[in-house]
Amino acid sequence: MLTFEKRVDDIPRWLPVATSIGSVVIAFILSGIILKLIGGEPLVVGQFFFEATFGSWPVFSDTLVKATPLIMVGLGCAVAFKMKLWNIGAEGQFYAGAFGASLVVLVLLPMFPTMPKVLVISLMIIMGMVGGALWAFVPAYLKAQFNINEIITTLMLNYVAVLWNNFWIFDRWSDAGFQMTPVFPKSAWLPRLADYASDYRAFSGITLHLGVIFALVASFIVWWILERSSWGYEIKLIGDNPQAARYAGINISCNIILALMVSGALAGLAGMSEVSGVVHRLQERISPGYGFSGIIIAWLAKLNPFAVIPVSILFGALILAGREIQPSGLPMMLQGFIMFMVISSDLLLRYRIKWTTTNK
Amino acid sequence: MTQSKPNAVEMKDMVIRFPGVLANDQVNFTLQQGEIHALLGENGAGKSTLMSALAGLYKPAAGTIKVMGEAVSFNSPKDAIAKGIGMVHQHFMLVPTQTVTENILLGLAEPKFFMNLRAYDQKVLALQEQFGLRVSPTAKIWQLSVGEQQRVEILKLLYRGANILIMDEPTAVLAPQEIEELMQTMRAMTQQGKSIAFISHKLHEVEMVADRITVLRKGKVTAEGYSMKGVTKAELARLMVGRDVVFTVKKKPRQAGKVVLEMYHVQAENDKGVPALRGVSLEIHSGEILGVAGVAGNGQSELAEIITGLRKCKGSIKINGQEVSNQPPIMAIKRGVAHIPEDRGKVGSAPNLSITDNSIMKNYRQAPIGDGWTINFLSAHTHATELKAKYDILAANVNMPARKLSGGNLQKVILAREISTMPSLMVAMQPTRGLDVGAIEAIQHLLLAQREAGAAILLISEELEELLALSDRLAVIFDGRIMGILPNDDQISINQIGLMMTGSKE
């Protein structure tokens, strides 16, 4: 008989890593089985999947381009989750960040058209992060002041953010009646490797942009905050036992607001990086659900800022493959399976599974 | 026994064990029909355990239970209620969004799928009339006061036909006038043939309502079925607290210095908004231990929390001459107030964080551990390792999560952490509760060492022996008031303390 036994002893260090990797592997296997059942060729699809995402430098660069916003959003979720604040609103904060960055280009830049690129990009970064942070401030304040469930408020604000952007791109900033703003001037574009193709032929057609560096730097900073700073210690303490944190003299309300705003700022940075590095304008559907993927990514990475990077690359590949594979529902199914597996694998961390023979 | 009333319940030689604890040791208890029988004892004396066995929640390891003369064995509360036994727990089990009647009917076979609630409202009303338990049947539970919710719990049992009611500290959550109403209800119920087992540790309430009394101490009966008429309060206090165990702690003579803590007419409410401190004034000098004796729930927790900034209050609190009332906890920490909280798991430590992380909770903002922005985890590790060695904390290493420590070792981590901040005032709440003898001694010696180092110590405890062994002066708290402060010398009388603990003035 199969029995579950609660773990009393420490979880071995390798186990969370193993369950995360195992979850992904099992999700792939299950998807393959379903593909086979409906008459597909899992191995062929698998090979195609690999080639379309990791097969060559240009496609790998595309994968990294998709991974860039995912890393930032995943980090944002990790910061909030570490404090047991369930920020489900990264999607909305992403849009708010994209809006904030666009504000710089569409309002400020026309007033000072000669602004140097470095200044434009810096302002876009700041405004993108401020946008995301402010979007997160609303649920954060409600949580800190009135203990209103942040899951609901952050989730609801996602829809508001999308509609808010729609208002501007449909009405105020519409480019000749289309549902998008005009293309940003070049000074608001993040540099891409392809821009240097005239000097290095190998870079021709490589879309990888500076945002990926932002993402990597952000990973390091978030790791430093969580593992080395006093604030990281306070986040850990609040996350584990808010009562003990209060007893240790920590202001919980302040930290709720701060953590959610940092979480939102990271999602906002992702929005900035996307409009400035990829889309070059504000338009509808700039995110294929990055904000929601960020939740799974943070969880799969066990809230480790460095683990967020490879996990995001995997999810970037899934998004990219969605375009290449027909039917494109397959990567969605894979994502679903992965999430399902990750959540259920938590069982293994809390329980030990034992075979017991019953003597009759 | 001159009375010929049959016994409603007879429990004989009850033995109940929990892992590592003998909760009831050969306990006898008889409940006569139509009487209120009080079970008196300190926290952890085994009162609730014994009654939970009667209500079918625990299975005894040994012993027999007879209900109305018939031997029974309960596997669940359902079996107990079938025999007419019901228990009103300290924590109510009601559905807040449903009405009184709906809660009463919950889980019953009748009514079936279609409910004619109004008819049942009438039935509930009739039951209320009978016992004087007023509460609107159509009110939703969340709209009711705690006292009214308790009435719903009692009605639930009466509706199910309970003849034997067990009430587990029913007055703990009630306001004084509600207590009076509850007692009237209890008398009305016994007049109509119900029998009540009343668990309490408040002597004056027992005196008001009980017919007979059984006293438990540390799992054993110290007085079985005494009639309330023949017993004095002082005698009961002694039976309840006991005084056979005498700790031998060597204490140097008192060298009290300047006043560290001054409280003047401090008032505070508990979590439920009921006044818990009603004008407490006291002062503690450096190098002195002021013990606070009292039965749990008379304002001790609130007293500790207002000094450490965890609870709002009215009145004046001065630490080293500076007014500190209603300032956030961080200010108390900065002023050198250490706090050993009542609940070491829920308040004093973060269970999943390492011993290191737990040991720097109070000083991570200061050098050498931190500079306000960063934490030097190397110094933190050194700090924790030093504490581990100095305070003899038994743990494989300091990276172990705190939850894996035994109670005594966890308490040592907390104490080590608090002492390492070199406090000028230490608030210690039940510092030795639940620990084994060795750990108790270690903790007590640490407290005395702090006293000799010149700290002012407020020691709140329910263990009178401990207070007598450690304190220089002893304050007795009752119902949010200090009943008196006695110098702890040869003249001190346990009887007098016992009486003060139950509400008599000095």
Please give the pLDDT value at position A254.
95
Over range B263-290, report the average pLDDT: 91
pTM over 0.80: no
Contact A247 B308 (CB under 8 A): yes
Closest CA to A131 of A176, A175, A101: A101
**H or E, element range at A44:** helix A42-54
Amino acid B106: pLDDT: 84
From B213, B241, B269, the end of a domain falls on B241
Disruptive mutation site among A241, A251, A303 for chain B (greatest number of B CBs within 10 Å): A241
Q: Looking at the structure, tell me whether residues B469 and B414 fall in a common domain.
A: no
CB contacts of A250 in chain B (<8 Å) are 330
Query: Is the pLDDT confidence value at B464 over 90?
Result: no
Region A177-198: what's the mean pLDDT?
A: 89
* Burial of A360 per CB tally in 10 Å (0-12, 13-18, 19+): exposed
User: How close, in Å, is residue B132 to chain A by CA atoms?
Assistant: 39
Same domain, yes or no: B281 and B160: no
Do B165 and B29 belong to one domain? yes
Task: Identify the closest residue of chain B to A225 by CA–CA distance.
Answer: B374
Q: Is A248 an 8 Å CB contact of chain B?
A: yes
Look up residue A189 and give its two tokens: 């574009």
Q: Are residues B66 and B205 in the same domain?
A: yes
* CATH at B155: 3.40.50.300
Confidence label for A357 from pLDDT (cuts 50, 70 and 90): low
**Residue in B352, B362, B377 nearest the CB of A248:** B362
Which among A352, A341, A195, A353 has a CA at the least distance from the CA of A277? A195
Considering only CB atoms, which residues of chain B are within 8 Å of chain A? 308, 310, 328-330, 332-334, 339, 341, 346-353, 357, 360-362, 364-365, 370, 372-375, 377, 400-401, 404
| Partner-chain contact B404 A10, CB within 8 Å | yes
* pLDDT digits 0-9 by tens, B2-27: 455 678 999 999 998 876 667 888 89
Q: Measure in Å the smallest separation between the Cα of B17 and chain A Cα atoms.
A: 22
Residues of chain A with C-beta less than 8 angstroms from the C-beta of B333:
248-249
Question: Do B417 and B463 fall into the same domain?
Answer: no
Judging contacts by C-beta atoms under 8 Å, the chain B residues touching residue A232 are 375
In terms of CA atoms, which chain A residue is nearest residue B341?
A247
Is the domain of B52 the same as that of B189?
Answer: yes
pLDDT of B267: 94
Same domain, B328 and B357: no
Asked if residue B467 and residue B353 are part of one domain, the reply reads: no
Q: What percent of chain B has pLDDT above 90?
A: 39
Shortest distance between the Cα of B329 and any Cα of chain A, in A, equals 5
Which pLDDT does position B244 carry in this prediction?
Answer: 44
Q: What is the dihedral of CA B445, B449, B452, B456, to 10 degrees?
A: -90
CB contact under 8 A, A230 and B308: no
Task: Measure the CA–CA gap between B87 and B168, rounded to whole angstroms.
Answer: 7
Average pLDDT estimate for A53-69: 93
Question: Which of A355-359, B37-41, B153-157, B304-308 is the least confident region?
Answer: A355-359
Length of chain A: 360
For residue A244, give the nearest of B330, B349, B360 by CB distance: B349
CB A217 within 8 A of CB A210: no
Chain A neighbors of B401, CB-CB under 8 A? 10
A228 reaches B (C-beta below 8 A) = yes
- Is A236 in contact with B357 (Cβ distance < 8 A)? yes
- Report the residue from A230, A232, A244 with minimal CB separation from B350: A244
Q: Nearest Cβ partner of A230 from B339, B353, B365?
A: B365
Least CB-CB distance to B351: which of A231, A236, A240?
A240
Nearest to B373 among A230, A240, A247 (CB): A230
* pLDDT at residue number A1: 67
Give the mean pLDDT of chain A: 90
Q: What pLDDT is recorded for position B291?
A: 95
- Could you tell me if residue B122 is inside a domain? yes
List, for residues B103-134, the tens digit of each pLDDT value: 998 878 776 666 678 888 888 899 888 888 88
Mean pLDDT of A129-141: 97
For residue B144, pLDDT over 70 is answered with: yes
Q: Is residue B150 part of a domain?
A: yes
- Cα angle value B270/B273/B277 (rounded, 5°): 45
Residue A6 in contact with partner chain B when CB distance is under 8 A: no
pLDDT at B438 over 80: no
Distance from CA of A224 to the nearest CA of B (A): 9
The pLDDT of residue B1 is 42
Residue B95 lies in a domain: yes
Q: For residue B176, what pLDDT is reported?
A: 65
List, in sequence order, every residue forming a beta bridge with B198; answer none if it has no partner: B38, B167
B415 or B246, greater pLDDT: B415
Contact B332 A249 (CB under 8 A): yes
Structure confidence at residue B253 (pLDDT): 76
Q: Across chain B, what does the average pLDDT equal?
A: 86
Mutate to test the interface with A, among B364, B377, B406 (most CBs of A within 10 A): B364
pLDDT of residue B426: 95
How confident is the model over B149-167, as a mean pLDDT?
A: 91
Decide if A356 touches B, using CB distance below 8 A: no
Q: Of B393, B421, B449, which marks where a domain is finished?
A: B421
Enter the tokens of residue B148.
């009214």
In angstroms, the separation between the Cα of residue B401 and the nearest Cα of chain A is: 9
Backbone angles phi, psi at B186, to 5 degrees: -60, -40
Q: Copy the structure tokens of residue A100.
A: 């904030």
- Tell me: pLDDT of B248 over 60: no
Do B408 and B487 lie in a common domain?
A: no
Least CB–CB distance from A230: residue in B329, B334, B374: B374
Element housing A320 (H / E):
helix A308-324
Q: What is the mean pLDDT of residues A310-325?
A: 86
Give yes or no for residue B246 having a pLDDT over 50: no
Chain A residues touching residue B338 (CB < 8 angstroms): none
Task: Report the chain A residue with the minimal C-alpha distance to residue B358.
Answer: A237
3-state secondary structure string, B388-457? HHHCCCCCCCCCCEHHHCCHHHHHHHHHHHHHHCCCCEEEEECCCCCCCHHHHHHHHHHHHHHHHCCCEE
Which residue did the predictor score with more confidence, A203 or A240?
A240
**Residue after which a domain boundary falls, among B241, B268, B302:** B241
Q: Residue A219 — very low, low, confident or very high, per pLDDT cuts 50/70/90?
A: very high
The residue range of the domain holding B196 is 7-241
A236 lies within 8 A of chain B by CB:
yes
* Nearest-by-Cβ selection for B350 from A232, A241, A249: A241
Question: Which chain A residue's Cα is nearest to B356?
Answer: A233
Identify the pLDDT of residue B367.
Answer: 82
What integer pLDDT is reported at residue A9 of this predicted model?
A: 62
A243 in contact with B, Cβ within 8 Å: yes
* Vertex B475: Cα angle to B462 and B333 (nearest 5): 80
Question: How far is the C-alpha of B269 from the C-alpha of B271, rounded, in Å?
Answer: 7
pLDDT classification of A117: cutoffs 50, 70, 90: very high
CB B384 within 8 A of CB B359: yes
Give the mean model confidence (pLDDT) for residues A89-112: 95
Mean pLDDT value of segment B244-263? 73
Express each pLDDT in B76-95 by its tens digit. Answer: 888 898 899 999 987 788 99
Task: Indicate whether B439 belongs to any domain.
Answer: no
Comparison of pLDDT for B148 and B406, the residue scoring more:
B148
Tell me, yes or no, whether B1 lies in a domain.
no
pLDDT the model gives residue B247: 47
Quick one: B184 and B317 in the same domain? no
Interacting residues of A171 by C-beta distance below 8 A, sequence separation 6+: none
Q: Which of A210-214, A281-285, B204-208, B500-504 has the lowest mean pLDDT?
A: B500-504
List phi, psi (to 5°) of B283: -140, 150
**Which residues in chain A touch residue B324, judged by CB atoms under 8 angstroms apart?**
none
**Residue B64 resides in a domain:** yes
Cα(B359)–Cα(B410) distance, rounded to whole angstroms?
A: 10
Taking contacts as CB-CB distances below 8 angstroms, the residues of chain A near B329 are 246-249
- For B360, nearest residue in chain A (alpha carbons): A248
Q: Which of B249, B171, B187, B259 is nearest to B447 (CA)?
A: B249
A252 min Cα distance to partner chain B (Å): 11
Do A233 and B357 count as a contact with CB atoms less than 8 A apart? yes
For residue A230, list chain B residues with Cβ-Cβ distance below 8 A.
364-365, 370, 372-375
Q: Which of B310, B332, B353 sits opposite A236 (nearest CB)?
A: B353
Residue B209 shares a structural domain with residue B317: no
Q: Is the pLDDT of residue B40 over 80?
A: yes
Residues of chain B contacting residue A252, judged by C-beta atoms under 8 Å apart: none
CA–CA distance, B494 with B234 (Å, rounded to integer)? 9
| Residue A156 pLDDT > 50 | yes
Residue B80 in contact with residue B74, Cβ under 8 Å?
Answer: yes
Residue % of chain A over a pLDDT of 70: 95
Minimum distance, in Å, between the CA of residue A82 and any CA atom of chain B:
13
The pLDDT score that the predictor gives to residue B366 is 87
Cis geometry, peptide bond prior to residue B431 (ω within 30 degrees of 0): no
Asked whether residue B324 is domain-assigned, the answer is: yes
Do B258 and B230 share a structural domain? Answer: no
Residue B448 covered by a domain? no
What helix, strand, coil percent values describe chain B, rounded to 5?
A: 35, 25, 40
The domains located in chain A, with CATH, are 41-325 (1.10.3470)
As for how many domains chain B has, the answer is 3
Partner-chain residue, chosen from A233, A241, A247, that has the shortest CB–CB distance to B329: A247
pLDDT at B436: 65
Is there a contact between A251 and B341 if contact means CB atoms under 8 Å apart?
A: no
CB contact under 8 A, B373 and A229: yes
Residue of A237, A243, A246 lying closest to B353 (CB–CB): A237
pLDDT of residue B245: 41
Q: Do B348 and A244 count as a contact with CB atoms less than 8 A apart?
A: yes
Asked if B330 lies within 8 A of A250 by C-beta distance, the reply is yes
